[in-house]
Structure 1
Amino acid sequence: MNIPFLDLKAQYQTIRQQVLRSVEQVLESCEFILGPNVSAFEQEIAKYLGVKHAIGVGNGTDALVLILDALGIGPGDEVITTPYTFFATAECVSRLGAKPVFVDIDPTTLTIDPKKLKQAITTRTKAVIPVHIFGRAAEMSAIMDIANRHGLFVVEDACQSMGAEIEGKKLGTFGNAGAFSFFPTKNLGAYGDGGLVVTDDDELAERVRMLRAHGSKVKYHNELIGYNSRLDEMQAAVLRVKLRYLNEWNSRRRQIALEYNKLLKDLPLQLPDPGDKGEHVFHLYTILTDNREELRVYLKSRGVETGVYYPTPLHLQPAYADLGYRKGDFPVSESACERNLSLPMYPELTDEQIHYVAQAVRVFFEERGA
């Protein structure tokens, strides 16, 4: 049996006619930039997330950059985040001339450790970017408490966690603003690039809207030095179709993860913690194992594709050599990078495929006497 790591074609077949109809309507209208689908999607996703403002932008990276820029983050400022994330989380800080400061992760949730966050705050710290990694919620109550006591902005990197919630609130809505990605592989993915900024702050929302369109409210009248970062009308049309299925797809992801956890529970693996209050929407199902490379090769020989997210922590990336971090500075993040392996995860996975993957993992360890 051959099981892909991700099968976007399977999902497309379930919504094909609706997508084609929506795309055709865009083509017939010839309204391609900030048209009615973008406006409608912004309203629909704002209602879904329970926020006042949802602003479609070019991609998830731009969402982070625009938020930080709108908050006035720049040279001389420090922004605290985790080294166990995609490069863009810190890249956006550097792009604005500020300095990313890293804090290690919690070994269970793999999100930023609030207990270590306080130690990294200095007089130059202006913001914190918690990352809801793989769809798992960071400890937002503790993070917000620390940020409020120190007067820090909180910008949630929710690019992998669309639809997850804790305490009755969707992730991305706890801080000053949240950033989402609609990269095609995401739980709510477009058929190209796309991103979203969400906030309840009217002034911040206005600045982000201006920044995404060259710093202007009115065409040819530029009040700020901005960007060209707008959600595409075609992508908005696709996302409007997909949004109707998001809860159903996320529910299936949780079911798959719980089945994986049940089938793999007695093996020498660290399984992902699903939380008990809907904290996880399993953008990825990521295990930790000391046998990562051997297991990956073995699964490939059995037709099972896997992924590694991420092989190198940000503090050890060549681009951040000038920050002066060394191997051993963040041992939990470094261990996660060395041991993580993501198994196939998408709503269209069948029970037969899930059991095949789990059985292959089990046989690997049984053959090694585990």
Structure 2
Amino acid sequence: MIKFLDLPKINARFESEFKSEFNAFLSSGVYVLGQGVTTFESNYADYCGAKYCIGVSNGFDALALIFKGYLELGVLQKGDEVIVPANTFIASILAILEVGLKPVLIEPNADSFNIEASEIEKHISANTKAILVVHLYGQLCDVSEINAVAKRNQLLVVEDAAQSTGAIDSVTSKRSGNLCDAAAFSFYPSKNLGALGDAGAVTTNNNALADVIFKLRNYGTSSKYINDVLGVNNRLDEIQALFLNVKLKFLDADNVQRVAIAKRYLLEVKNSRIKLPKFNGMQNHVFHLFVVLVDNRDHFIQYLKAHNIQPAIHYPIPPHKQKALKRFNVLKFPITEKIHDTCVSLPISPIMTDLEVTTVIKTLNDY
């Protein structure tokens, strides 16, 4: 079976370093917000090209803390509208709702799966105060155009960069995490930079925002037992920070391998029944996922499984159709619904062999 994602094999490459880091961690006696977190925050800020990185508990909390930070600073107010793609993972929308803001869902581009400046402009109202761009599947949105729209309308732009770690914008040559006002990252184990548990981070160049998020993630403290704001416990786990520091050194090489596999799929898959993703060959896509569209998804998935290939679906139900978001159930988003009804994620990871990639390609061509 060609696994969709073989996490044990991916992480086996770092086993000796992981064990060394764990042994040092165990003997240190510093298990929360130690040097591992501080070092990772410095390393990841440098990697993204941002001034600040705040390590947090997961990607959802990273997003929520950004919005909480802006609320605490008075830049946002409860009830303000945030434009967000309709076809994102539900966490993007839940984070907006969590802090008392109002998500305004919009359609993506049918080819890129990302939202565009032209569609955003159609939905800006007097209550719109922010745009949440989601770099879906690892491909960056056109942030230059979106930032221009935001500047004209005095809006914040926040990156949901959970899937785009390492991607480089082709206009500015800046990395994801340094493209907008702030960015939220997830280091869930399946991500391109994946921890061995939950982990996340916020990056920003805004000193005031960074300062308040550092406080918010740790009970609102500026120093021990001194609480400046109403905070929470959203700290990055020390051991996960140590593991992430190990893996960060290999991230670019892993992303290069992902892109190489994607290029083979795009070049060698020749089947009109399978709609391949669009890719301009630039560094603005790190292929966290390689997503194709097929009309009869159930049949296609059974076919792949019968040929010992494990697919996945990201995501089978659009957020506005979820029971948890009843208030949005009446909305209609034809492009989003088409994507969610027909999308299939193919195996792609830095440890796939050439033979495995060739097998997937042959199986797709024979479908």
Residues 8-157 of structure 1: pairs in structure 2 closer than 5 A: 8-72=7-71, 73-157=76-160
Shift of the alpha carbon at 1:231? 0.6
Shift of the alpha carbon at 1:325? 3.6
Task: Report the equivalent of 1:330.
Answer: 333
- Structure 2 CA distance for aligned equivalents of residues 265 and 23 of structure 1: 47
Amino acid at match of 1:28: S
- Structure 1 CA distance for aligned equivalents of residues 362 and 344 of structure 2: 16
Partner SS state of residue 25, structure 1: helix
Aligned mate of 2:203, from 198, 202, 216:
198
8 Å CA contact 2:322, 2:329 repeated in 1: no
8 Å CA contact 2:271, 2:364 repeated in 1: no
Residues 104-253 of structure 1: pairs in structure 2 closer than 5 A: 104-166=107-169, 167-253=172-258
8 Å CA contact 1:63, 1:196 repeated in 2: yes
Amino acid at match of 2:248: L
Shift of the alpha carbon at 1:57? 0.2
TM-superposition CA deviations, 1:56-98 (whole Å, max 9, x none): 0000000000000101145321111001111110001111111
- Structure 2 CA distance for aligned equivalents of residues 313 and 351 of structure 1: 34
8 Å CA contact 2:132, 2:159 repeated in 1: yes
- In the comparison of the two structures, how many residue pairs are matched? 361
Aligned mate of 1:307, from 307, 312, 323:
312
Aligned mate of 2:344, from 341, 344, 357:
341
Q: Does 104-113 or 56-65 show the bigger shift?
A: 104-113
- Structure 1 CA distance for aligned equivalents of residues 355 and 240 of structure 2: 33
8 Å CA contact 1:215, 1:222 repeated in 2: yes
Partner SS state of residue 82, structure 2: strand
Which sections of structure 2, spanning at least 5 residues, go unmatched? none
Q: Does 252-261 or 164-173 show the bigger shift?
A: 164-173
Partner SS state of residue 188, structure 2: coil
8 Å CA contact 2:140, 2:167 repeated in 1: yes
Amino acid at match of 2:293: L
Partner SS state of residue 56, structure 1: strand
- Structure 1 CA distance for aligned equivalents of residues 345 and 158 of structure 2: 26
Which sections of structure 1, spanning at least 5 residues, go unmatched? 365-370
Shift of the alpha carbon at 1:266? 4.3
Amino acid at match of 1:62: D
TM-score, normalising length: structure 1? 0.95
Runs of 4+ in 1 over 4 A off after TM superposition: none
Residues 345-356 of structure 1: pairs in structure 2 closer than 5 A: 345-356=348-359
Task: Report the equivalent of 1:368.
Answer: none
Residue 279 in 1 paired to residue 278 in 2?
A: no
TM-score, normalising length: structure 2? 0.96
Aligned mate of 1:254, from 247, 252, 259:
259
Partner SS state of residue 320, structure 1: helix
Partner SS state of residue 172, structure 1: coil
Residue 361 in 1 paired to residue 360 in 2?
A: no
Shift of the alpha carbon at 1:324? 6.0
